[in-house]
Structure 1
Amino acid sequence: MTAFNGEDEVVELCRDLIRIDSTNAGDNAGPGERAAAEYVAEKLAEVGLAPRILESDDKRANVIARIEGEDSSRGALLLHGHLDVVPFDAADWTHHPLSGEIADGCVWGRGAVDMKDMDAMILAVVRQRLSEGRRPPRDVVLAFTADEEAGGRYGAQWLSTEHRDLFEGCTEAIGEVGGFSVSVGEARRLYLIEAAEKGIAWMRLTAAGRAGHGSMLNSENAVTELADAVARIGRHEWPVRLTPTVRSFFQEAFEIELEAEDAEAAVAKLGSLARMIGATLRNTANPTMLDAGYKANVIPQTATAHVDGRFLPGYEEEFFATIDDLLGPGVTREFIYHDIAVETAFDGPLVRAMAEALQAEDPGARAVPYTLSGGTDLKAFSRMGIRGFGFAPLKLPADLDFSGMFHGIDERVPVDSLQFGVRVLDRFLDAC
């Protein structure tokens, strides 16, 4: 078998994946993930694996493969990454988002950050290890999923219900979003590892009123009722709620025993981290869409709005009680998408393996836990009893706004960060 070098391969793997259009607008009308899945399956088959491509719907494809470890009696490790990306407007980009262009030391394109970079790193590490005859200490299951960007209905959720047997023995997992560095000094970098993520409540609000002529008096105007509810939700000041992971972040990163009354001030001092960490201090609910009526002089019978709600681990009940109070009696809600919050303790052998692998490649590294304000496929896998973390290791330039590129324009990842990630993941697999 030809020997592959992961550091040499990872950049081209990432570029190839970016060039495959797998945009997902959430309407199941896009190109799907089939082409990307076939590419991944081919790369895995070249090193002796027997990957399975599983379609949940036309072109909505997932890839699953298992690597037999030295001790298959141990719990297996799941490495997962999604193949879909969010849509883009190419006119806004410096380099075309499907070009995989290399410029200014970075690979540019949609998915360079979220998350074809990690897909490429997994492929590169696996191909190198297997071509060299190096098996992991325990079984490793590889999952490249569809539809993560729209909640995973055609991907991780479907796999966890329809193909649960393929994850037999999996006890732990790593995936997105974590393991990236944030500089806090010339020689010190925090590597944020996701140990928790907020729950999701995408809701449709509906107000029902009395239809009528726009020139007449109407005390049952659905638009007015809905607008009042949306304004109450959008302006609500949610209280600070310090979860174990948020407390642990401040303790591990800055040796601060955080209290609720000090949380806002502490976050304000975090610089580029403030936006990311600030969103994990409280539940949030942001109105995002409004729809009502069909003519300027007609009062519609109904009006609707959409709200993106996110709740902290342990605070789902409080979140919905507050939302229902803010809605008022004339507005109802229904779910467009609803999923759990997850949280795990930042301890144990897997955490040590991540921290030690980072420190071996970057002596200035300090691994710290954090809460993701968004959601990932981990939600679906956690329902199978799998304990997971976000760990896609990247050593980043201090001036790169990495978190701002998730779903943003000019998404890019440094070439040397990809190569760093390959080295860290290789060490991690040896130790886990």
Structure 2
Amino acid sequence: MTPSGSAVDHDYKPEAEVVDLCRELIRIDTSNYGPEPGPGERDAAERVAELLDEVGIASELYEPEPRRTTLVARWEPDGTDTNLSPLLVHAHLDVVPADAADWQVDPFAGEITDGCVWGRGAVDMKDFDAMLLSVVRARARAGVAPRRPIRLVFTADEEAGGMQGSQWLVDQHPETINDCTEAIGEVGGFSLTIRDDLRLYLIQTAEKGMNWLKLIADGTAGHGSMRTEDNAVTELAGAVSRVGNYRWPDRITPTQQGFLDAISEALEIDLDPDTVEETLARLGSISRMIGATMSNTANPTMINGGYKHNVIPGQATAAIDGRTVPGGRAEFLETIKELIGPKVRFEHAVDLPSVETEFAGALTEAMQASLLAEDPGARAVGYLLSAGTDAKAWDRLGIRCFGFAPLRLPAELDFVGMFHGVDERVPTDALEFGARVLDRFLAIA
């Protein structure tokens, strides 16, 4: 292996395979149905292992349950500076389910239409799986080492909180990654066009906590024709309505303030604290994600109770998807208790913390430099993600986590709508751009 360097210094194309690899991975159905049985990630993990083995990179497969497979590989060829701590580069193999009847194309065919790769996982996140494999394979074949040792981790179960993937790996096999101090993965590095000569590339430096709650109302079962003052459905319905209609107060975190400052500078305006969300609306569809990070949120998503029209049930339940800003968990739980009232209780279905790190340091400088080399109008900015990622697991080991899966996107593309959406797709030129940026990044990070 020769010393590390970028694509411009060597005769290889990091983007050469990225489109084909993305299509191939989409065709492997890894739908995650949560607690219900599904295909698992085994087939995809075995294919990734084959692709790495072809270029001399060995990997190990880990399974807490049959077919719930996570792959870990160590990549530190000759030329790597082993005095530096390894960089964790992670991507998940599972995807949320897709109903083919709702799509214009088969969601598991990996078709190319209108300059895009279509299919479930095209942006969440088999695009980055493909970028990573394309870059690593190109570098390995050319004998070009990354600057520092790399831990490649392709996880299972990210779409259900990582209990069968990243969280399990940290609990059972922390030795695979506990020498890493920094990590990159989803969801960040994608562009937001401000004007023709300026694109902000949003780097995830924080993400909200996940507080999925089960609300439970108990009452007296009885005949549906009788009067009752102890109806579980009535109590639950009132609680769900109060939670769903509550307007959570803004809680601006350091990461959020940094992003708002960057938007203010980019748009050349002074943001009025009372009209921030109106200003964010000018950013297009991304405003939905950013708006959701201005405060804690709690959305009712399921409600269950009863089994027959004329039977009053003794219990009714509802699901609440709660997301908390960094530092906002205690306030969230106290508010939920007040909203649901004394006759309804809750249990935690998922309780995962928020994550936040500073948008500063050599790694963020490397992100800016690698983006700028491919896009002269690029400006990297940190932001708070409204959803959750495997960073919640890595953070438990003290690893600083960043979302950096670079994509230069068309200004008109509803990128946020692609996540878990119908007709999910990613432009082929964005995939190729991302591979080139990632290649440059590994040379200097």
Partner of residue 65, structure 1: 73
Match of 2:409 among 386, 392, 396: 396
Displacement of 1:253 in angstroms is: 3.2
- 1:165, distance to aligned residue in structure 2 (A): 0.4
Q: Does 1:222 align with 2:232?
A: yes
Counterpart residue number, 2:160: 150
- 2: CA distance between counterparts of 1:286 and 1:241? 18
Letter in 2 for 1:192: L
Which residue of structure 2 aligns with residue 177 of structure 1? 187
Partners of 1:6 and 1:216 in 2: CA distance = 71
Alpha-carbon distance change, 4 to 155 in structure 1, aligned in 2, over 3 angstroms: farther
Q: Letter of the 1:36 partner, please give it.
A: A
Structure-to-structure mapping, 1:261-280, within 5 angstroms:
261-280=274-293
CA distance in 1 between counterparts of 2:441 and 2:344 reads: 51
Q: How many residue pairs get matched?
A: 431
1:174 Cα deviation after fit = 0.4
- State the match for 2:317 in structure 1: 304
5+ long unaligned stretches in structure 1: none
Give the aligned residue type for 1:163: H
Aligned to 1:140: 150
When normalised by structure 1's length, the TM-score is 0.97
Q: Deviations over 1:269-325 (max 9, x none)?
A: 322221111000010001111111111121111111111000100111111110011
**Amino acid across the alignment from 1:122:** L
Contact 1:187/1:364, CA 8 A, preserved across alignment: yes
Q: How does 1:115-126 map to 2 (within 5 A)?
A: 115-126=125-136
For residues 165 and 348 of structure 1, do their structure 2 counterparts lie closer, same or farther at Cα, with a shift above 3 Å needed? same
Conserved 8 A contact 2:192-2:409: yes
Q: Which amino acid in the other structure matches residue 277 of structure 1?
A: I
Quote the Cα distance in structure 2 between the aligned partners of 1:5 and 1:360.
Answer: 15
User: 1:26 aligned to 2:34?
Assistant: yes
Q: How far apart in 1 are the matches of 2:264 and 2:47? A: 43
1:431 and 1:257 mapped to 2: Cα distance? 35
The DSSP-based 3-state class of the residue aligned with 2:135 is: helix
Deviations 1:305-351 (A, max 9, x none): 11100010011111111001111000010011110100111000000
Rounded Cα–Cα distance in structure 2 between residues aligned with 1:169 and 1:44 = 22
Q: How does 1:307-322 map to 2 (within 5 A)?
A: 307-322=320-335
Q: 2:198 — aligned with what? A: 188
Displacement, 1:28? 4.5
SS of the residue 1:393 aligns to: coil
1:45 is aligned to 2:45: no
| Percent of paired sites with the same residue | 58
- What TM-score, normalized by structure 2, do the two folds share? 0.94
Query: Match for 2:64 among 33, 56, 64?
Result: 56
Name structure 2 gaps, 5 residues minimum.
2-10
1:425 corresponding residue in structure 2: 438
1:276 & 1:125 partners in 2: Cα distance?
A: 29
Find the counterpart in structure 1 of residue 103 from structure 2. 93
Shift of the 311–266 alpha-carbon distance from structure 1 to 2, 3 Å rule, reads same
Structure 2: how far apart are the matches of 1:233 and 1:249?
Answer: 28
Comparing 358-367 with 206-215, which one deviates more in the overlay?
206-215
Greater displacement, 64-73 / 37-46: 64-73
Q: Which moved more, 1:269-278 or 1:379-388?
A: 269-278
SS of residue in 1 equivalent to 2:200: strand
Measured against aligned partners, the alpha-carbon deviations of 1:340-384 in whole angstroms (never above 9, x if no partner) come to 100111000000000110011000111111111000000001101
Q: 1:346 maps to what in 2?
A: 359
Rounded to whole Å, the distance in 1 between the matches of 2:291 and 2:386 is: 9
- Alignment equivalent of 2:345, drawn from 332, 335, 360: 332
**Hey, what's the Cα distance between the residues in 2 that align with 1:168 and 1:321?**
35
Q: Once superposed, which parts of structure 1, at least 4 consecutive aligned residues long, lie more than 3 Å away? A: 256-260
Q: 2:305 maps to what in 1?
A: 292
- Secondary structure at 1:88's aligned position in 2? coil
The offset of 1:262, in angstroms, is: 3.7
Given that residues 166 and 390 in structure 2 are in contact (C-alpha distance below 8 angstroms), is that contact kept between their aligned partners in structure 1? yes
What CA RMSD, in Å, does the superposition of the two structures yield over aligned residues? 1.4
CA distance in 2, matches of 1:192, 1:84: 23
Aligned with 2:120 (options 110, 128, 135): 110
Provide the residue aligned with 2:25 in structure 1. Answer: 17
Aligned: 1:369 with 2:377: no
Deviation at 1:54, TM superposition (A): 1.1
Comparing 357-366 and 262-271, the one that deviates more? 262-271
2:372 is equivalent to residue 359 of structure 1:
yes
